[in-house]
């Protein structure tokens, strides 16, 4: 469906032409002065220069030609030359009725779907998820859903950190604790046990212990580094242990991501890229893209236009070990081979920006991706505590994601129980749903690149620009619809009539902006644009709700129109929050 603003622009273009001016000046934009009008056209100001005429004269001419328009109810020319526009109420109603009958609520999907890989999550195996991993999961999931809604083929890849030094550390610590295990017996010939020699709780305890110990003990650290080397070179026992670590840890990660409503299509990791490295290194050397510098193999990536120093991308250290960038380049080779993506989007902490500049430039220079493949880095800012410093536990330690989520749930549970008497089970369940909305909306309503303050009190409040406020609004609509249904049967879609009050009209126009809001969010890959839209919509609905007796309306036809509009409002809300990655409960 055409966007409402575009339909208005078409009317304006016709009017400019009919008045003897070029059509291109007829462009409708949202009003700067919502108290005066709904949309406005500033084209007469630009036309004034071309036609050497006072802008208000042009605006007058055009407004005259708009008389009788089916779409524009009122076009008023105001000095110095604006055209203030009010949409025809019957037309707006018709627009909404059409929306509710269309697939995707009238949003036009992209005509040529692209294949887009979204690299997000990036959890490190065997290390507990901490709040640093929260933002990539929340933002990446939302971007994925937006892009998918818009019609592209999306592949979400968790890209686990499963190949680094932490693996060597864990294996070293295991050997210290259980030297009798067959994995450490070089002479062992039999089948290794199927049961992992640890639980997830042990695994999570092992990593921090080992990591701290290695910092104090050089020989232990050497051993861990060597073990990492052994693993990366196919050592049998290490590989078998690595498989155990992966299975136990990934099962736990899946559970954690699931509770965040985050779903990946691919569970690949850094280890998957390793087989591509030797051949890639040869290629980079042979084609002259990489060269040795002080024993290390590097790709120069600086460009003349750089305003700051961009160091070369390191491919191999002087001891022959590969690095983070090597893995990312090799992953690009794999992705190109398996999926031929048109675009890859990385949702990663913005402090890794330089790394991605190096990787992207190297990939282009060495033709590891096709020239037309788009590589995009969405760098997000830090989640801070109220003190403005990176979010920590009360004791000052690294906050685990699970604790953060359960804290919020507890808070929501308290609020829900305070308000009404419902069963404990329902309250727990609702607290989960609403708590997730609080966390996700609190994050997504900020532009991703900005740091933000994780403010539990504000995020869980039912007032203001918060997840719970949006959910309360949706639940309110659901409750009205249910009551209507009990009294009068199934509500009907698509029978909205022209608005009779200002708040009703405002809600209608807000609903009509749906496709425009989604398009902006899609083009900019910006979930915060959906939050902003949803918030405006909630405000418009609540204004209408407070000023209107919906269930007590005596005129049946008018009531049915209200209800029909509520059905659409609910659908728009639910579609939007689904793109944000959360849902609404039945009651709150
Ligand atoms: N595992 C990394 C970390 O925790 C994030 C991975 C981001 N993705 C990538 N392709 N490098 O910092």
Q: Where are the domains of the chain?
A: 4-87, 165-259, 411-580
Structure token pair of residue 265: 């299509």
Residue 236 Cα to ligand 1 midpoint, Å, equals 27
**Cβ(262) – ligand 1 distance below 6 Å:** no
Which of 130, 161, 334, 375 to mutate to test ligand 1, by most ligand atoms within 8 A of the CB atom? Answer: 161
Residue nearest to atom 5 of ligand 1 (CA): 122
What pLDDT score does 23 carry? 97
Superfamily, domain 411-580: Isoleucyl-tRNA Synthetase; Domain 1 (1.10.730.10)
Rounded CA-CA distance 346/157 in Å is: 10
What pLDDT score does 419 carry? 74
Under DSSP, the state recorded for 140 is: H
Residue 338 Cα to ligand 1 midpoint, Å, equals 20
**Cβ(11) – ligand 1 distance below 6 Å:** no
What pLDDT score does 37 carry? 95
Neighbours of 79 (CB within 10 A): 9
Supply angle C-alpha 25, 28, 34, rounded to 5.
135
Query: pLDDT digits over 282-297, tens only?
Result: 999 999 999 999 999 9
Rounded CA-CA distance 153/354 in Å is: 28
What pLDDT score does 127 carry? 82
DSSP string computed for 537-572: HHHHHHHHHHH--STT---HHHHHHHHHHHHHHHHH
CA 14 to chain centre: 39
What pLDDT score does 131 carry? 82
Whether 174 and 198 have beta carbons less than 8 Å apart is answered as yes
What pLDDT score does 319 carry? 87
Rounded CA-CA distance 165/224 in Å is: 7
- Which atom of ligand 1 lies nearest, measured to the CA of 348? 7
Neighbours of 201 (CB within 10 A): 9
Q: What is the largest distance, in Å, between two alpha-carbon atoms of the chain?
A: 95
292 - beta bridge partners?
297
**Strand blocks (E) in 131-221:** 153-157
**Cβ(332) – ligand 1 distance below 6 Å:** no
What pLDDT score does 126 carry? 86
Rounded CA-CA distance 544/505 in Å is: 9
Residues near 538 by Cβ (< 8 Å), separated by ≥ 6? 469, 470, 473, 573
User: Percent of the chain having pLDDT more than 90?
Assistant: 90
**Cβ(122) – ligand 1 distance below 6 Å:** yes
Residue 122 Cα to ligand 1 midpoint, Å, equals 5
**CATH 3.30.1360.70 holds for 4-87:** yes
| Average pLDDT, consecutive stretches of 10 residues, N- to C-terminus, the chain (588 residues) | 97 97 96 93 95 95 96 95 97 98 95 97 88 93 98 98 93 97 95 94 92 96 94 93 96 93 97 96 98 97 96 94 95 98 97 98 98 98 90 76 90 87 90 96 97 93 96 98 96 97 97 97 98 98 98 97 98 98 95
What pLDDT score does 42 carry? 96
Whether 119 and 157 have beta carbons less than 8 Å apart is answered as yes
Neighbours of 508 (CB within 10 A): 23
Closest residue by Cα to residue 89 from 498, 454, 423 = 498
Which of 352, 369, 380 to mutate to test ligand 1, by most ligand atoms within 8 A of the CB atom? Answer: 352
Q: Do domains 4-87 and 411-580 have the same CATH topology?
A: no
CA 330 to chain centre: 26
Query: pLDDT digits over 377-425, tens only?
Result: 999 999 998 888 888 777 777 778 888 899 999 999 999 888 777 889 9
Residue nearest to atom 12 of ligand 1 (CA): 122
Closest residue by Cα to residue 348 from 163, 130, 137 = 137
- Overall pTM surpassing 0.85 (yes/no): yes
Whether 348 and 143 have beta carbons less than 8 Å apart is answered as no
Whether 557 and 564 have beta carbons less than 8 Å apart is answered as no
């Amino acid at each position: 469906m055409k966007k409402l603003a575009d339909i208005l622009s078409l009317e304006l273009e016709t009017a400019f032409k009919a008045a003897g001016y070029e059509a291109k000046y007829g462009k409708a934009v949202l009003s700067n002065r919502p108290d005066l009008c709904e949309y406005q056209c500033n084209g007469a100001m630009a036309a004034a220069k071309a036609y050497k005429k006072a802008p208000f004269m042009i605006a007058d001419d055009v407004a005259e030609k708009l008389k009788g328009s089916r779409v524009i109810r009122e076009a008023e020319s105001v000095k110095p030359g604006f055209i203030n526009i009010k949409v025809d109420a019957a037309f707006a109603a018709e627009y909404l009725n059409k929306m509710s009958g269309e697939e995707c609520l009238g949003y036009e999907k992209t005509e040529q779907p692209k294949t887009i890989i979204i690299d997000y999550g990036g959890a490190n195996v065997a290390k507990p998820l901490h709040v640093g991993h929260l933002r990539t999961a929340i933002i990446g999931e939302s971007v994925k859903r937006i892009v998918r809604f818009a019609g592209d083929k999306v592949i979400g890849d968790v890209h686990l950190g499963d190949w680094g030094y932490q693996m060597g550390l864990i294996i070293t610590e295991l050997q210290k604790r259980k030297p009798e295990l067959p994995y450490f017996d070089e002479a062992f010939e039999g089948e290794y046990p199927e049961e992992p020699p640890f639980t997830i709780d042990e695994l999570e305890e092992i990593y921090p212990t080992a990591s701290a110990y290695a910092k104090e003990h050089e020989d232990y650290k050497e051993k861990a580094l060597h073990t990492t080397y052994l693993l990366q070179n196919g050592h049998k026992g290490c590989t078998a242990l690595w498989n155990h670590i992966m299975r136990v840890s990934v099962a736990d990660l899946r559970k954690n991501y699931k509770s965040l409503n985050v779903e990946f299509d691919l569970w690949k990791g850094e280890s998957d890229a390793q087989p591509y490295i030797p051949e890639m290194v040869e290629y980079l050397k042979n084609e002259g893209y990489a060269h040795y510098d002080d024993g290390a193999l590097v790709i120069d990536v600086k460009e003349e236009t750089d305003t700051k120093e961009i160091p070369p991308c390191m491919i191999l250290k002087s001891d022959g070990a590969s690095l983070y960038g090597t893995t990312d380049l090799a992953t690009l080779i794999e992705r190109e081979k398996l999926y031929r993506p048109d675009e890859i989007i990385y949702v990663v902490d913005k402090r890794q920006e330089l790394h991605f500049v190096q990787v992207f430039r190297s990939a282009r220079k060495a033709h590891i991706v096709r020239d037309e493949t788009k590589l995009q880095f969405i760098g997000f800012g830090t989640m801070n505590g109220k003190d403005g410093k990176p979010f920590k536990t009360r004791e000052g330690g690294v906050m685990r994601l699970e604790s953060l989520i359960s804290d919020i749930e507890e808070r929501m549970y308290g609020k829900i129980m305070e308000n009404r008497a419902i069963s404990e089970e329902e309250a727990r369940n609702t607290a989960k749903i609403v708590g997730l909305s609080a966390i996700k909306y609190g994050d997504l309503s900020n532009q991703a690149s900005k740091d933000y303050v994780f403010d539990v009190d504000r995020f869980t409040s039912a007032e203001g620009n918060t997840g719970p406020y949006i959910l309360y609004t949706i639940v309110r609509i659901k409750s009205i619809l249910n009551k209507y249904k009990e009294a009068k049967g199934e509500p009907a879609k698509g029978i909205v009539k022209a608005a009779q009050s200002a708040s009703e009209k405002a809600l209608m126009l807000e609903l009509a902006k749906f496709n425009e809001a989604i398009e902006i969010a899609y083009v900019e890959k910006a979930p915060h644009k959906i939050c902003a839209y949803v918030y405006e919509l909630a405000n418009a609905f609540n204004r209408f709700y407070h000023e209107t007796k919906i269930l007590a309306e005596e005129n049946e036809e008018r009531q049915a129109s209200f209800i029909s509009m509520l059905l659409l409002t609910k659908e728009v809300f639910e579609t939007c929050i689904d793109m944000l990655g959360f849902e609404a409960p039945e009651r709150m």
